[in-house]
Structure 1
Amino acid sequence: MQVTESGADLLALLRELDDPQWLEWPTSYDRSAVAARFGELVARLEGDFGVPCVAEQDTQDSSEYGRATVPAEATVCGTRIVVCVSKFGSLALVCAENPGAYLGTQDAQEEGELDDADLASVERALVELGFTVVPEELVESDYDGPSRAHLYGQRPTWWDRFFGTF
């Protein structure tokens, strides 16, 4: 399954969501609505993979809302799948093992650590629940927005902006 938006469209969306006055969450943030959608995601992943998934949510001092993890034993390749959900614009990221463990899902697939059907199942669930899937390769690219002074590190990335801690 292909993510429906192009890299240019996704980058434009990230720029649109970027407001230096609202670093941890957007002005329109509805914690209850995000919690409900996240709960639906966890339930959907548990149903699709047939196992309980670990869910971490309500991450403090972070623009990431939470993570849902499909255990390694439930995947074809034996590598866990981690889904990170941002507090911004229903952004979601799919990773093999952990964010940053691979250069992205394509790299994990090429190394035999992420099955096409498993990835398609996770992406389908996200899209059907109204999330926007952002490739790890994009969020690991250099951040050049107006919140730069507020982000840690010598080389801030879009990950730092929409999934990182403050």
Structure 2
Amino acid sequence: MREAFQLLDRDSDGTVNREDVADMLNQLGLPSNASDVAQFFPPSAPQAMTMALFLNSIASSLAALSPSSELLSAFSAFDDDDSGQIDVAELRDALLHTAPEPGQQPLTALDVEKVIAGFTGRRAFSKSSATGLGKRGEVFRYQDFVNTVVGGSGGPPQAAEEAEDA
């Protein structure tokens, strides 16, 4: 969370303002209009946040995240060979053609690409390749993704390097 705050605090002055929060919400694919940003900045409160206030403000949003076991279970439904990898084309198709929750916007191809970026690669082999059913296409490493999203370890090396460079 400290790193997230530091990324938002673009001028390194120890505070995050409305524009920083709107940008963060937008990058997360969440609504970022004035009323959405206003929930982080009540009228009677300062219009910039310190790190402590930032952590308190996003705690409720983070509580809404699914536990890692639930995410892993959902992704494993697409993992035919228990490799921790999913065929990207199959995942992309499922994400783009699943009806959104009421009040939510459907995902776009760009949304999907942003989410899976850094967690894809080529499948070198699969357990079922001996039967001729193996796929050698592009895969999404969902275990790495879940570990990164819920704060665990095992994220893609390039994501860790980018965070260190920031």
TM-score interval (norm. to shorter): under 0.3
Greater share of strand = 1
| Structure of higher RCO (CA pairs closer than 8 Å, 6+ residues apart) | 1
| Structure whose alpha-carbon radius of gyration is higher | 2
TM-score between both structures, scaled by the size of structure 1: 0.25
